[in-house]
């Protein structure tokens, strides 16, 4: 029997939801082969809703227009929250992905480091840098702008670390996103979305849809309102994602 039930694992526009279809999936603890959590099993409809929320948040919301220093400060707050919840998240990563508890704790440390790294990177001196173009008639300035809505698809191994390598730079640059974690190891990514909200990220900037790649991942990859797709996974799935995304991504 599952000793922890997590049903509202889809977040769209800041609201935690069950799947539109009502479907769920049991999450298995690899240590004993028994279910220990239940998550929402999203599909194309949930992906549509999440992309729409991310699109609104980018086009009319506050996050893309938030000053760089404030974006960096939020990422550092997220890192502090990860340190605060290290024990709980480390244990959850252990049960979810089948690794030792100590390795789970180390993974959380690495995730916190990733958020700090991208906070420091985006707050550095690169943006606004004047470049010598070799002519007094040319004024050349480096300007960094967010690309838009990012679809982030992560694999089963190192689930939270893989998510952080996508989420932290996307947010640092002022983007909004929808993330689809692996359907078999989604729990710490769900927890991270909660920490982003606790840190003060505006509703809609971060969205998560738990569910399988053939429905949720496929719809995210091909969606015309998605501006960037970041995928980590197997070769066969990667080819499908690239083919689906090619006609629409920038």
Query: Which domains, ranges and CATH numbers included, belong to the chain?
Result: 10-245 (3.40.605.10)
Taking residues 1-14, report their average pLDDT. 71
| Confidence bin at 125 (pLDDT 50/70/90) | low
For 46-72, how does the pLDDT look when each residue is reduced to its tens digit (9 = 90+)? 999 999 999 999 999 999 999 999 999
Taking residues 111-121, report their average pLDDT. 96
pLDDT given for residue 250 in this prediction = 66
| Confidence bin at 127 (pLDDT 50/70/90) | low
| Confidence bin at 1 (pLDDT 50/70/90) | very low
Cβ–Cβ < 8 Å for 159, 96: yes
Q: Enter the DSSP assignment of 214.
A: I
Taking residues 139-151, report their average pLDDT. 86
Please list the alpha-helical segments (H only) found in the chain: 44-60, 68-84, 86-97, 101-122, 159-172, 187-199, 218-222, 235-245
pLDDT given for residue 2 in this prediction = 46
pLDDT given for residue 51 in this prediction = 98
| Confidence bin at 247 (pLDDT 50/70/90) | confident
- CA 73, 50, 209, 163 dihedral sign is negative
How remote is the C-alpha of 218 from its chain's centroid? Answer: 16
Tokens of 133: 């173009």
64 vs 127 pLDDT, higher one: 64
pLDDT of residue 138 exceeding 90:
no
In the chain, pLDDT over 70 holds for what percent of residues? 95
* Least confident stretch, 25-39, 55-69, 102-116: 25-39
pLDDT given for residue 85 in this prediction = 97
């Amino acid at each position: 029997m599952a000793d922890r039930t997590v049903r509202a694992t889809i977040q769209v526009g800041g609201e935690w939801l069950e799947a539109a279809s009502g479907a769920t999936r049991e999450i298995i603890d690899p240590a004993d082969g028994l279910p220990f959590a239940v998550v929402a099993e999203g599909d194309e409809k949930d992906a549509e809703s999440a992309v729409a929320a991310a699109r609104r948040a980018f086009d009319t919301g506050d996050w893309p227009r938030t000053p760089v220093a404030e974006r960096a400060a939020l990422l550092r707050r997220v890192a502090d929250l990860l340190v605060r919840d290290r024990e709980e998240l480390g244990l959850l990563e252990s049960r979810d992905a089948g690794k030792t508890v100590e390795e789970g704790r180390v993974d959380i440390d690495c995730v916190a480091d990733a958020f700090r790294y991208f906070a420091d990177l985006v707050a550095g001196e690169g943006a606004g840098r004047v470049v010598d173009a070799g002519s007094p008639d040319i004024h050349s300035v480096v300007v960094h702008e967010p690309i838009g809505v990012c679809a982030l698809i992560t694999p089963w191994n190192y689930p939270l670390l893989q998510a952080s390598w996508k989420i932290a730079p996307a947010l640092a640059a002022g983007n909004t996103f929808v993330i689809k974690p692996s359907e078999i190891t989604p729990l710490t990514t769900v927890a991270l979305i909660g920490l982003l909200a606790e840190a003060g990220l505006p509703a809609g900037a971060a969205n998560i849809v738990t569910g399988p790649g053939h429905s949720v991942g496929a719809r995210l990859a091909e969606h015309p309102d998605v501006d960037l797709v970041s995928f980590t996974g197997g070769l066969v799935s990667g080819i499908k994602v690239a083919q689906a995304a090619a006609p629409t991504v920038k």
